[in-house]
């Protein structure tokens, strides 16, 4: 797959750009927020420093970052300066800024386009990580990740924890790409209540499985922090209510497994409020030469997300 195709897949990522319009979109988002509570109640989720940011698998590291392109620090090709996709260290996301703040070295296993399904199961549909919609090619088949591994991100996490039993912190952001895949692969573009309900159940079940493996397979008892997603607009209900729906799913599962929630939604909301609810105008998203913004965080945005996690863990 040519680079342009891979980048197109990535630029659609993070799920908050799902297309719902006007009052219909707002009503549907409200319905799905309520559906989250029903899913959880039905038992679908059951408990069972001043240096530059660094990344790597240092033997003394105590922080493992998991997730999608937000954790990866993805930058679109149209950005200035243009990214070097062959140098993973040139991508700096919130895990690197958080590691700097904590004085730790992070192993960032995130993969742009990862879904909750592809994180768990090799060959499952991703939105451009291991594969892309309609293609067996994805980011990880073309370019290096921050850390290199064969198999799933979950398999790497379990192996990492087995060999780094002093790990004290895991962060996760995952689930937005599930929504995008649902849009692209269902006849009604994930617009029906049935499709939305299935999406809720899928994210809840898979995130629960991720937590279950970390807790009960790896026997990891340290802090796990789920970072919620920011909205691309805090003035457009069809945007922020949909993001609230997704964040509600993540929050419900995280609390069910004794995890900590870091409020990425609120982290972007306050600065955006000074600019009419627009995180692009607030400088929190990557600016493009035409004056618009990509959906991924700018360095300022990543620093806010890192601060939200630090606050959630009392650091």
**Residue 129: DSSP 8-state:** S
At residue 242, the pLDDT reads: 84
From the centroid of its chain, how far is CA 12? 13
At residue 200, the pLDDT reads: 87
Sequential DSSP letters for 214-231:
IIIIS---SEEEEEPPPP
Helical ranges in 173-298 per DSSP H: 176-185, 193-212, 237-256, 264-273
At residue 188, the pLDDT reads: 84
**Residue 88: DSSP 8-state:** G
- Cβ atoms of 99 and 169 within 8 Å: the answer is no
All residue ranges of the chain with pLDDT < 70 are 1-61
pTM of the model: 0.83
Q: How many structural domains are present in the chain? A: 1
Instruction: Please state, in angstroms and rounded to a whole number, the distance separating the CA atoms of residues 142 and 1.
Output: 9
Residue range(s) defining the domain that contains residue 258 = 3-312
The secondary element (H helix, E strand) that includes residue 64 is: strand 63-67
Nearest to 285 by CA among 275, 277, 272, 294: 294
Pairing assessment for the beta strands 293-297 and 285-287 based on DSSP bridges: antiparallel
Q: The domain spanning residue 211 has which CATH number? A: 3.40.50.1110
At residue 61, the pLDDT reads: 61
pLDDT digits (tens, 9 = 90+) for 11-70: 444 333 333 333 333 334 433 333 433 333 334 333 332 233 444 444 456 899 999 999
293 strand-pairing partners: 287
Taking the alpha carbons of 187, 233, 71, 248 in that order, is the dihedral positive or negative? negative
At residue 134, the pLDDT reads: 93
């Amino acid at each position: 797959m040519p680079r342009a195709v891979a980048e197109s897949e990535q630029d659609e990522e993070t799920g908050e750009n799902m297309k719902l319009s006007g009052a219909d979109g707002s009503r549907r988002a409200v319905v799905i927020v309520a559906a989250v509570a029903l899913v959880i109640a039905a038992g679908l989720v059951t408990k069972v420093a001043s240096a530059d940011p660094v990344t790597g698998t240092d033997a003394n590291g105590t922080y493992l970052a998991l997730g999608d392109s937000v954790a990866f620090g993805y930058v679109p090709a149209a950005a200035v300066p243009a990214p070097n996709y062959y140098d993973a260290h040139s991508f700096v996301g919130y895990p690197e800024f958080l590691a700097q703040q904590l004085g730790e070295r992070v192993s960032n296993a995130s993969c742009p386009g990862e879904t909750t399904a592809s994180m768990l199961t090799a060959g499952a549909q991703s939105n451009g990580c291991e594969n892309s919609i309609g293609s067996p090619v994805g980011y990880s088949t073309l370019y290096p990740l921050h850390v290199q591994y064969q198999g799933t991100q979950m398999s790497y996490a379990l192996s990492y924890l087995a060999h780094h039993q002093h790990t004290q912190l895991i962060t996760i952001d995952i689930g937005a790409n599930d929504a995008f895949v649902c849009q692209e692969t269902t006849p009604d573009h994930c617009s029906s209540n049935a499709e939305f309900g299935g999406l809720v159940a899928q994210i809840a079940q898979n995130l629960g499985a991720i937590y279950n493996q970390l807790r009960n397979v790896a026997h990891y008892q340290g802090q796990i922090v789920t970072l919620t997603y920011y909205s691309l607009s805090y003035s457009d209900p069809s945007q922020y209510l949909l993001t609230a729906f997704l964040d509600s799913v993540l929050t419900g599962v995280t609390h069910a497994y004794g995890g900590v929630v870091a409020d990425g939604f609120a982290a972007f909301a306050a600065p955006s409020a000074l600019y009419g609810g627009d995180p692009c105008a607030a400088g929190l998203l990557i600016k493009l030469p035409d004056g618009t913004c990509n959906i991924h965080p700018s360095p300022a945005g990543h620093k806010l997300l890192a601060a939200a996690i630090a606050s959630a863990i009392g650091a």
